[in-house]
Structure 1
Amino acid sequence: MTDKPNILMIMADQLAPQALSIYGNAVCKTPHLDRLAAESVVFENAYCNYPVCVPSRASMMSGRLTPAIEVWDNACELASSQPTMAHHLRHLGYHTVLSGKMHFIGPDQMHGFDERTVTDVYPSGFDWVADWEAGPAFVPSATGLNGVVDAGPAARTLQEDFDEEVAHATVQTIYDLARRGDDAGPWFQIASFTSPHTPFVADQKYWDRYDPDDIVLPQVGALPFEDLDYASRALFFAHGRHRHRVSEDDLRRSRQGYYAMISFIDDKVGEILDALKASGQADNTFIIFCADHGEMLGERGMWFKQSFYEWSARVPLMVSSPDKYAPRRVKDCVSLVDLLPTLVGIGGGVMNLPCDGESIEPALSGGATRDLVISDYYGIGPCVPYRMVRQGRFKLIYTHGHPDLLFDLEADPDELQNLAGDPAQADTLARLKAILLDGWDPAEIDQQIRISQAERLFLKAAPGMPEDWDYVARKGDETRYVRRGSGGVDGTKANRRLPRVEPIAPHFPDLSQKDVSAIIAGDAPLPPYLSKDESDAVS
C-alpha cells in the first residue's frame, strides 16, 4: 500500500457557507456534512478567487489568479499549456479522475485528468462571452430572477439528474479504485456537483424537510438604489431586478429551495463517504469539501454571485484527515488558489512552477497562513476591472473609476459602513491598495479584456456550424443538460423541470441599455415603479 494518501475533493456549486449549520445557520439540515466537519479543519474565512464558475474553477485548478491565465469570464478557455492540479498530482504518482462539473471551455476537456466519468452540465464553447460594449444589462447566459420567483418543489429537475449521475460515478470509481489492489498508487478524484445553483427548485421530499415558518429572511434587506455602490447598481440590472418584483413569499420559497437543494447534496456526500468507508479506503484518504463561489440569496436585495460581498465571495472549506490533523477552526483568510500547493505538499511534492497560492498545510497542523486573499471579477454588470483584497479583519473592494469600499469585517460583518473615507483608516486603505495594485494595472487589464471579448465574439459569430467541444461520457451527452442554443440556463432548466410550470412573466417593462447606463451613472432617476417602495417593489 502506498504511503501517500488518496485525495478526494467534493465540490458544490454556488454554495454560500452562511447557509450551512457548520457556519452557524440554524435552519439548513446537513447531517453528513456536519459529520465530516466534526473530523475536519474548518476554514471560517475561505474565499473564491473569482465569484463566477469558469474563472473560479480555472484559478483553483491552476493555482493562478485569473489575470495570470487570462480567463476573464464564463466563455474563456484555460490554456492546454497551463499545468493544473491534475498534472501536478500525476507527476507525484497519482491516478486522477474528474467526476462532474468543471466547466472547461475549449477543445481540452481533460486538463490533465486520466479519466473523466461524467459530461459537463454547461456548454464548452464561446456561448457566454461577456460584452462590455453592450452595456451593464447584457447577460449572454440569459439568466435573471426567473429562478427566484419560480422557486418551488418538483418531482425532478435537470440539476438532480446531473448530480445523481455525479454521485453514482464517484461511488463507482471509488470501488473501482479499491479493486486495483494494495500495490496500486494513490488516486485523486474530484466529485463536482451543480447544486445548489439556481433555479431554487428541489425534489418534493427535500422541500418538505423545511417548514416555511422556520425560514429566516435576509439579515440585511434590500438597500435603496441611491445607496448602492456602482458595481451593485450595475448588477441590479444585469440580474434583472428591474424586471421582477420579489415578495417576502418569494424570499422564503427561494431560501427553502436553496436549503432543500443543499440537503440533497448532503445526502450525495453521505453516499460518497459511505462508499469510501465500505471500500476500506477511508483511513488513507484526504478529503476536501468546498464550493466555487457563494450565493447572495437575497442579502442586500442581491442574488447570485458576481460581487465581493461576503455571501457571494466566501466559500465553505473543510479538510479532513483525522489521523493526521486534529479537528479545529481556522480564522485566517485563505482562498481556492491555495489548494494546488497544498495538494502538492500532501502528495509529497514541492511547487517549482509559478503559483499565486500558498499552502495551507501549516494551518492544518495548528500553525498560521499568510492570511491574505485576492479575488477578481471581469464579467457582466460593472464592465470595468473589479478586484478585492482581504487581509485580517479588513476587506478592500476596488472598482476601476469609482470610489473604493473598505470594510472592517469584525466590527461590521454586514458590510454597511464604508471606511474608505475615514482618516483613521488611511494607513489600512493605503496598505491594502498597494497589495491590490501590485503587478495589476487596471487600465491594461481593461484593454486586454475588451480585445479578448472582441476576438471571441468574432469567432462565435462566424458563419457555419460552431465547434462542438462538449465532453461525451455516455451516449446522448451531446444533447443532455444545458447545451448550445438551448435557450440559456433559465430556459433549459425550466423546460427540464417535472412537472413543468409556466414561467412567471416580468412584472415590469424592460429598459433600454441607454436608459440603464444613465440610471447607473446617476444621470436619470430610477423609474417610479421601482423606486416608490423598495422593500415591496424589488428585492
Structure 2
Amino acid sequence: MTDKPNILMIMADQLAPQALSFYGNTVCKTPHLDRLAAASVVFDNAYCNHPVCVPSRASMMSGRLTPAIEVWDNACALASGQPTLAHHLRHLGYHTVLSGKMHFIGPDQLHGFEERTVTDVYPSGFDWVADWEAGPAFVPSATGLNGVVDAGPAARTLQEDFDEEVAHAAVQTIYDLARRGKDAGPWFQIASFTSPHTPFVAGRKYWDRYDPDEIDLPKVGTLPFDDLDHASRALFFAHGRHRHRVTEDDLRRARHGYYAMISFLDDKVGEILAALKASGQADNTVVLFCADHGEMLGERGMWFKQSFYEWSARVPLMVSAPQRYAPRRVQDCVSLVDLLPTLVGIGGGEVSLPCDGESLEPALTGGATRDLVISDYYGIGPCVPYRMVRQGQFKLIYTHNHPDLLFNLKADPDELQNLAVDPTHDETLQRLKSILLDGWDPDEIDQQIRTSQAERLFLKTTPGTPEDWDFVARIGDETRYVRRGSGGVDGTKANRRLPKVEPIAAHFPELSQEDVAAIIAGRVTLPSYLSEDRQDVGNS
C-alpha cells in the first residue's frame, strides 16, 4: 500500500449497528459485510453527531459539531465557505467523487466533490424546516408510522431503484478510475445508499431470505407513557404514535423488512468490493463503512431516530486496510466528526483549520483515542436544545429545562436506570455536564435556532416559484425520486412501490397541538384509547 492510498467510503442510511451480525445480531444476514468486518478495525462505540440525516452528514463532511456550522435540522444549508473532507483531500492530490445520497441543502450541491454521479433522493430546499413554535407534533416531512404498519414485501421499491443506481455508478467509477493508471494519483469516493431507511419494504428476493418465525422482538418493550422522559414523550407525537396502533404482527413485519433491506444493501456492498478487487485496486484502497445514524426499530416502543438512546445514536463504523491496519475491535467512544481528521491523516496530511474531531489513526494502529463523543439534536419533537455526551461507560443526555438522564452503559446497556437521580453518581454527572456545557449555552442556542427557523420559514413561504436546487444527474430523475411528492416521505416512497398498496389509515383521531403540549407536560393524562387499548408489544 502506498503512502497515499485510495479511500472508499460506503455509507448506509438509518442503519443501527445492533442489527448487524458483526455487532452481535443473530438474525440479520450480511455475508459481505461480515467478511469486510473480519478484515477491519471495527469500532464498537461509534456515534453520529446529530441523529438525523442532513445535520449528521454536514457534521461528518465538515469535521465540526452542528452548532459550529449552524446546521440545525433537515432544511439547513451547509455554508459554501465551510471546507469539507472533499476539499481537504483535494489539497492532498485526491480526485473526489460522490455517488448517491448526501442530502445537501441549498445551491451548493458539490461541497468540494469534483463529480456527482447519481441524483440525490431528497429535496434540497427549505421544504423540511423544523418549527418549534408549531409544537412537538409538527413534522414538515409528514413522516409517520405508515412506514412501520405498511411494512411488507414488494416486487420493487423506490429505494431499491435508487440504490441499484448508486451501486452501478460506484462500480463504474471504480473501473473508470482504474483506467487512469497509477500515475493519475489517488482517489476518494463516497458510495451513499438510502437503505435501510423507512418504509420497511423490501423486494421479495430479500424478504424471502428470512423465515418470519425467526424475526426477533425488541429487547426492551414499549414503556408506559408516564415513564418516558420529555424528549421521548415529544417524539411519541412527532413520530405519529398517537395515530397508529402497532401490533406484534406489525412489529415483526417491520423488523423483517428492515433486515431484508440490510441484506439487499449487503449485496450492493459485495458488488462494489468485487469491482475494487477485479480492477486491481483492492490492495491500495482503504475501505470505510458507516451510517449517518441508527434506527430504534421498536426498542422501548420507539421508531426512527432523533433520540440519543443507543439504537438511534450509535452507528456502525469499520475501517479495512489489512496491509496497513491489523483487524481488531476498538471499545473507545468515537464519532463521525472524527472521520475528517482521520482520512486526512491517512492521505498524508494534517488539519490546520478548525475541527471538532480527533484522528482515529492511533486506534487503527493499536493505540487509544480521547474516548469522547458529543452529539446534538435540534429538529422535530423536543423543541428545546437537546445534547448528549458519552465518555467511557457513562452517557449523559441533557434536555434543556428538563431532568437529566445518566446511564452506565456497561452495567445497564438497555438504558433503564437513570443514575442522575442517584446522589452517589453526582460527581460523574457534574463532570460530564461540565464537558457538555463547555462553550455551549443552551439559551443562546435556543434563540439561534428559533431565529433560523423563522428566517427559513419566511423564505419557504415567499410567493412565487421556489428556488430549485435539486441535484439531478440524468433527465427524468427530478420526478423519479422523493423530492416534493404528496403524502410526505413515506407516502411518496409507498406510491412508487410495486405493486402499489393502499396506506393504512390512522387508527386514532388526531390531537390538537394544545392537547399534545398538555399531555407531554403532564397537565392531562394520555387518552384512554392510547394508554389502555393500544395493544402495543411490551404493554401487557
Which residue is equivalent to 1:223? 223
Q: Deviations over 1:172-213 (max 9, x none)?
A: 000000000121100000000000000000000100000111
Which residue is equivalent to 2:388? 388
Letter in 2 for 1:275: A
Which residue is equivalent to 2:421? 421
Task: Check whether the contact 2:334–2:372 (CA below 8 A) recurs between aligned residues.
Answer: yes
Letter in 2 for 1:500: K
- Mapped pair 1:165 → 2:172: no
SS at match of 1:183: helix
Q: Deviations over 1:246-297 (max 9, x none)?
A: 0000010000000000000000000000000000000000010000000000
Q: Deviations over 1:90-112 (max 9, x none)?
A: 00000000000000000000000
- Superposed, 1:318-467 pairs within 5 Å as 318-467=318-467
Shift of residue 416 of structure 1? 0.2
Task: Check whether the contact 1:2–1:186 (CA below 8 A) recurs between aligned residues.
Answer: no
Task: Check whether the contact 2:3–2:347 (CA below 8 A) recurs between aligned residues.
Answer: no
Task: Check whether the contact 1:118–1:165 (CA below 8 A) recurs between aligned residues.
Answer: yes
Paired with 1:360 and 1:31, the residues of 2 have a C-alpha distance of 26
Paired with 2:472 and 2:260, the residues of 1 have a C-alpha distance of 30
Shift of residue 230 of structure 1? 0.4
Task: Check whether the contact 2:202–2:261 (CA below 8 A) recurs between aligned residues.
Answer: yes
Q: Which runs of 5+ in 2 are unaligned?
A: none
Letter in 2 for 1:404: D
Which residue is equivalent to 2:121? 121
Which residue is equivalent to 2:308? 308
Paired with 1:535 and 1:414, the residues of 2 have a C-alpha distance of 22
Letter in 2 for 1:117: T
Paired with 1:285 and 1:537, the residues of 2 have a C-alpha distance of 45
SS at match of 2:479: coil
SS at match of 2:10: strand
Task: Check whether the contact 2:223–2:538 (CA below 8 A) recurs between aligned residues.
Answer: no
Paired with 1:168 and 1:536, the residues of 2 have a C-alpha distance of 41
SS at match of 1:420: helix
Percent identity reads 87
Letter in 2 for 1:169: A
Which residue is equivalent to 2:190? 190
Paired with 2:483 and 2:330, the residues of 1 have a C-alpha distance of 40
Task: Check whether the contact 2:2–2:284 (CA below 8 A) recurs between aligned residues.
Answer: no
Q: Deviations over 1:327-383 (max 9, x none)?
A: 000000000000000001000001100000000000000000000000000000000
SS at match of 2:8: strand
Shift of residue 487 of structure 1? 3.2
Task: Check whether the contact 1:144–1:490 (CA below 8 A) recurs between aligned residues.
Answer: yes
Shift of residue 158 of structure 1? 0.5
Which residue is equivalent to 2:517? 517
Shift of residue 536 of structure 1? 3.4
Shift of residue 537 of structure 1? 8.3
- Superposed, 1:465-484 pairs within 5 Å as 465-484=465-484
Task: Check whether the contact 1:2–1:183 (CA below 8 A) recurs between aligned residues.
Answer: no
Shift of residue 483 of structure 1? 1.2
Letter in 1 for 2:372: L
Runs of 4+ that moved beyond 4 A: none
Paired with 2:77 and 2:511, the residues of 1 have a C-alpha distance of 32
Paired with 2:535 and 2:506, the residues of 1 have a C-alpha distance of 18
Paired with 1:83 and 1:488, the residues of 2 have a C-alpha distance of 32
Q: TM-score, normalised by structure 2?
A: 0.99
Which residue is equivalent to 1:39? 39
Which residue is equivalent to 1:21? 21
Letter in 2 for 1:314: R
Shift of residue 479 of structure 1? 1.4
Paired with 1:393 and 1:181, the residues of 2 have a C-alpha distance of 47
Q: Deviations over 1:291-318 (max 9, x none)?
A: 0000000000000000000000000000
Paired with 1:503 and 1:480, the residues of 2 have a C-alpha distance of 20
Q: Deviations over 1:461-507 (max 9, x none)?
A: 00000000001111112212011254320111010000001100011
Letter in 2 for 1:249: D
SS at match of 2:334: strand
SS at match of 1:478: helix
Task: Check whether the contact 2:123–2:482 (CA below 8 A) recurs between aligned residues.
Answer: yes
Paired with 2:241 and 2:3, the residues of 1 have a C-alpha distance of 54
SS at match of 2:96: strand
Letter in 2 for 1:415: E
Shift of residue 535 of structure 1? 4.8
Task: Check whether the contact 1:100–1:193 (CA below 8 A) recurs between aligned residues.
Answer: yes
Letter in 2 for 1:496: R
CA gap 1:250/1:265 in 2 versus in 1, 3 angstroms: same
Count of paired positions: 539
CA gap 1:534/1:228 in 2 versus in 1, 3 angstroms: farther
Paired with 1:481 and 1:162, the residues of 2 have a C-alpha distance of 8
Paired with 2:520 and 2:156, the residues of 1 have a C-alpha distance of 39
Task: Check whether the contact 1:195–1:265 (CA below 8 A) recurs between aligned residues.
Answer: yes
Paired with 1:379 and 1:537, the residues of 2 have a C-alpha distance of 27
Q: Deviations over 1:36-86 (max 9, x none)?
A: 000000000000000000000000000000000000000000000000000
Which residue is equivalent to 1:107? 107
Paired with 2:321 and 2:171, the residues of 1 have a C-alpha distance of 19
Paired with 1:538 and 1:524, the residues of 2 have a C-alpha distance of 23
Letter in 2 for 1:106: G
Which residue is equivalent to 1:284? 284
Which residue is equivalent to 1:155? 155
Paired with 1:184 and 1:248, the residues of 2 have a C-alpha distance of 56
Shift of residue 532 of structure 1? 1.2
Letter in 2 for 1:351: V
- Mapped pair 1:269 → 2:269: yes
Shift of residue 2 of structure 1? 6.0
Letter in 2 for 1:67: P
Paired with 2:538 and 2:75, the residues of 1 have a C-alpha distance of 30
Task: Check whether the contact 2:154–2:203 (CA below 8 A) recurs between aligned residues.
Answer: yes
Paired with 1:175 and 1:449, the residues of 2 have a C-alpha distance of 44
SS at match of 1:118: coil
Q: Which runs of 5+ in 1 are unaligned?
A: none
SS at match of 2:197: coil
Paired with 1:120 and 1:488, the residues of 2 have a C-alpha distance of 17
Q: TM-score, normalised by structure 1?
A: 0.99
Letter in 2 for 1:132: W
Task: Check whether the contact 1:97–1:189 (CA below 8 A) recurs between aligned residues.
Answer: yes
Which residue is equivalent to 2:199? 199
Task: Check whether the contact 2:159–2:195 (CA below 8 A) recurs between aligned residues.
Answer: yes
Task: Check whether the contact 2:146–2:490 (CA below 8 A) recurs between aligned residues.
Answer: yes
Paired with 2:240 and 2:48, the residues of 1 have a C-alpha distance of 24
Task: Check whether the contact 1:244–1:538 (CA below 8 A) recurs between aligned residues.
Answer: no
Paired with 2:323 and 2:167, the residues of 1 have a C-alpha distance of 26
